[in-house]
Structure 1
């Protein structure tokens, strides 16, 4: 029995070349053996730079390779579901970049595909395999901060390039789809529930029409989550989990660096000057290495992937509801899917 999964990468997207592939190449159970691009020269250049053995000038050729077990799909958002389906139908397991789709209904089509093909399909929220997030789960479960009642967060960067894919509406660009999805995912993960209703404020760029500033409140049975995300603010990210007896803060919750330790703060609330804060430091590691190995392990051991299709559908349903609220000016309930769970 092999103890590594042979991966192929669809496209030379920057997130793959700069972050995910180098991380996966350090994994114990992942082997990135092929990369494809519609531009063969780009694929050859990427393969040479990253030391990848096989190069293909089309996505179809890669999917036809019998020596590829799994596909990493970092294509533009509107191509996530179509090519995930093609990969699954070719018998390949698929790790698809977030957001997994443009709509919840589109994401739901993957349930039938997964059932028919028998492959594993998951969404690439790398935070779910990272030590500081696993520690958050432990702290919440053990009641370290009492009962979780409130989550507050912010995630932003500044990018006004109209040619950048994050600023193209048709490609699923904008702040909520690109980075607000992390806040939604983190909130659902922490509460281990789906929100009953949401309300959102959406400010769109007058030229590009993407949401450049979105704030939302999610109403869970267990409490509330509130966040702001933006593509046109100073770069910043932070998240707080407030309970009845304490608070957890993640200093760099989402873009955890691969070359520096990360920190988590637990505050007993002893005083407003931080006298009750305990700091936990997590050793240097690459969250993309851990994500790749976690998915590979699920394939090798036939267990559940870190972020399932059902989980992805739940996240997309909340994203859609926030956009709907931004348009209606009212609370909106996320569409419920029968197979959905956090």
Structure 2
């Protein structure tokens, strides 16, 4: 492997890869995109030409067999995350897999059996964005006082029956697609694990997927994360961190525009209607490039990545508990 660059292979011509992740890797400090693969060779070739990628393959197996590839990005539909990741690791590749990493905790546990010399991680780009990193610095500084409440909202409207987000057999639905972000916010900013959860889910009568999900996660010591996510509400997102002295608001917490500034808003509540709010601007950033560098530096042995398969498994345990709570109609412990 080139000691300075991670050579990436991209599985499929998925939109998230073409429009977000590949451009991010291409402007990262540690990575280059060497190849792209699709089950359709013509489609792979067209994507490679459009994106300036050297190699195109008509099967995933060809990509995995390329000795010039160090790491794989896996943005396939959710039900294919584990089997294709296993295949890539067994071929000797490191894997950055789109979230959620599996369909369930049982599914994700399969990844624990893979060789430990290959890095496998879940592609939560938000953890690499400077706005999240800076927000956690503020929490740690004590400026908010004691952080007790985190509130998240994330929604969009999509009722296309052919879209994978509306396919129950492919792991679609609001919780798996975007609820994983709001859930992760609690773990990230409380720097703790939830003890139990209670949830309410409304399912689309035709798709069978959860189209409207709300949950309360109890982190103990009077700390709560509450969130609502939906695939059939007007597009909106927001994250609030509320402490005993101040609250911190992240206006675009999950899919901040690539290459643009972002901001954090602070308010001590001394005046109503946000009149006492102050704003901190975060420099232009591409969170996909930042994620590629976090992963890339770990692959290159320059810096340890603080989350891997075990962290991804914990995320799936929480998602499982949220689904179980809705079925039970009450609190479910997270073990």
2:317 aligns to what? Answer: 317
Alpha-carbon distance in 2 for matches of 1:260, 1:38: 34
Contact 1:158/1:235 (8 A) holds in 2:
yes
Contact 1:114/1:121 (8 A) holds in 2:
no
Contact 1:154/1:236 (8 A) holds in 2:
yes
Q: SS where residue 108 of structure 1 aligns?
A: helix
- With the length of structure 2 as denominator, give the TM-score of the two structures: 0.97
1:41 aligns to what? Answer: 42
2:174 aligns to what? Answer: 175
Alpha-carbon distance in 2 for matches of 1:40, 1:241: 47
Structure 1's unaligned 5+ residue stretches are: 337-342
Alpha-carbon distance in 2 for matches of 1:48, 1:42: 10
Q: SS where residue 260 of structure 2 aligns?
A: coil
Q: SS where residue 114 of structure 2 aligns?
A: helix
Q: How many residues align?
A: 333
Deviation at 1:259, TM superposition (A): 4.0
Alpha-carbon distance in 2 for matches of 1:41, 1:333: 49
Alpha-carbon distance in 1 for matches of 2:95, 2:305: 10
Q: SS where residue 225 of structure 2 aligns?
A: strand
Deviation at 1:306, TM superposition (A): 5.1
Deviation at 1:114, TM superposition (A): 3.9
Alpha-carbon distance in 2 for matches of 1:298, 1:83: 21
Q: How does 1:54-203 map to 2 (within 5 A)?
A: 54-115=55-116, 118-203=117-202
Contact 1:154/1:228 (8 A) holds in 2:
yes
Q: SS where residue 194 of structure 1 aligns?
A: coil
Deviation at 1:302, TM superposition (A): 5.4
Alpha-carbon distance in 1 for matches of 2:41, 2:215: 42
Alpha-carbon distance in 1 for matches of 2:303, 2:78: 27
Deviation at 1:275, TM superposition (A): 3.6
Alpha-carbon distance in 2 for matches of 1:212, 1:142: 37
1:265 aligns to what? Answer: 265
1:286 aligns to what? Answer: 286
Alpha-carbon distance in 1 for matches of 2:81, 2:151: 29
Residue-by-residue CA offset, 1:209-249 (whole Å, 9 max, x unaligned): 10000000000114001000000000000000011111110
Alpha-carbon distance in 2 for matches of 1:306, 1:319: 21
Deviation at 1:304, TM superposition (A): 2.9
The two structures, once aligned, show a CA RMSD in angstroms of 1.1
1:340 aligns to what? Answer: none
Deviation at 1:263, TM superposition (A): 0.9
Contact 2:297/2:304 (8 A) holds in 1:
no
Alpha-carbon distance in 2 for matches of 1:77, 1:22: 22
Deviation at 1:317, TM superposition (A): 0.8
Alpha-carbon distance in 2 for matches of 1:294, 1:306: 10
